[in-house]
Amino acid sequence: MKFSLAHPSGEAQRQGAGLLALSALLVLTMLFSLALGRYYVPLETLLQVLAGAAGIGGPQPSGTAETIVLMVRLPRIVGAVLIGAGLSLSGLAYQTVFRNPIASPALLGVSAGAGFGASVALLLRAPVLCVQGAGFVGGLAAVAIALGADRAINTRSIITLTLCGMVVSALFQALISIVKYVADPVEALPTITFWLMGSLARMSASDAIVLACPVILGGLALYLNRWRIGLLALGDHEAATMGVDVRRLRILVICCATLMSAATVCVAGVIGWVGLLIPHLARASFGMEPGRLTAATALFGGIFLLLVDDLARSISAIEIPLGVLTALIGAPFFLMFLLRARQSRWA
């Protein structure tokens, strides 16, 4: 399936202004999220805390406000933005490199594979880096199995690749069930079960730093190769005639996308629909130009997951798992998006 990269040049200024507006919206959403919670922090106090953390002089608020903002809410908010951007960029990369508009980390089995690897590490009480490494290996193994099965069938059909991903996902979900079955029902099982549903409740500053490394590095690699990746969407033959090493670039994209999505699973559990929904929203808003599309996808993803997390921790006394909310919001929204589409940019 191919699509065109061209878009009317007269819209460049409008789309540039749109990206600036999205960036401003992300900053405002982060400030709103910092103030949101059972312990209300006024805007003036919030700005004083942030200014003090940045080394800017002035009267400092109470230690309680400083602790809540900097130690509790800020790592969670930074983590939500990174996870939303990482999952969205992963979905965009998969959809482009496979020329498949419904490809995503969940549909290709990455989430389930990473979940299995991380579940085994949690069962063994491994440290954070080992959990992340196991998740990456599991996610990469799931993608490799799905692509290998699709290549063996050799139908070159979107449906075949999707079915292969569904089969691989079901396989790893079954393996996760085995891990949960043998886990200690008092300590390990509740941790694995709650973690698989997706949550940022335990996000710490160290978790945010661990998450930032793969997401930033993977996203930077995808952005630097954005034009070559865009050429892959035209087809392997067309990309090769323009000097692209198709095989090497595809491996790079798969590794970067898998690294980002696996890292998010390891830190926050399985969060679906973000990688499928957000790239389509970015295309509809900013077109197919690789640079603006990549930036818009990351910004939309960060804003979306941050708002969902705000909803998860504020609408009830008990925090709702993120994976549940993204499915409840994402599935109807994606269906509405498909029904209202007058013409597809995927041709």
Look at the alpha carbons of 332, 333, 338, 341 in this order and tell me if their dihedral is positive or negative: positive
Q: Distance (Å, rounded) from C-alpha 75 to C-alpha 86?
A: 16
- 244 to each of 91, 214, 231, 248, 325, how far by Cα in Å? 22, 25, 8, 9, 40
Q: Distance (Å, rounded) from C-alpha 211 to C-alpha 201?
A: 15
Please give the structure tokens belonging to residue 76.
């969670």
Q: Distance (Å, rounded) from C-alpha 207 to C-alpha 310?
A: 19
* DSSP per-residue codes, 163-192: HHHHHHHHHHHHHHHHHHHHS-TTTHHHHH
pLDDT at residue 60, as a whole number: 65
Sequence length of the chain is 347
In sequence order, what are the residues at sequence separation of 6 or more whose Cβ sits closer than 8 angstroms to the Cβ of residue 56? none
- Written as tens digits, the pLDDT of the chain (347 aa) is 444 444 455 667 888 899 999 999 999 999 999 999 888 888 888 888 888 887 776 666 667 888 899 899 999 999 999 999 999 999 999 898 888 788 888 877 888 998 999 899 989 988 877 887 888 889 889 988 988 898 888 876 667 877 888 899 999 999 999 999 999 888 888 888 888 888 898 888 888 988 899 999 999 999 999 999 888 878 778 888 888 888 889 889 988 998 898 889 888 888 989 999 999 999 989 988 899 999 999 999 999 999 999 999 988 888 899 989 999 988 888 788 777 765 445 44
Rg (CA), the chain: 21
> pTM of the prediction?
0.88
pLDDT at residue 57, as a whole number: 65
- CA of residue 119 relative to chain centroid, distance: 19
Q: At what angle do helices 12-35 and 274-286 cross, to 10 degrees?
A: 140
SS3 track for 64-81? HHHHHHHHHHHHHHHHHH
- 206 to each of 50, 79, 125, 213, 231, how far by Cα in Å? 19, 10, 18, 11, 38
CATH architecture of 75-306: Orthogonal Bundle (1.10)
Contact 262, 139 (CB under 8 A): yes
Question: Is the backbone of residue 156 left (phi > 0), alpha (psi -120 to 50) or beta?
Answer: left
Q: Could you tell me which residues are beta bridge partners of residue 346?
A: 3
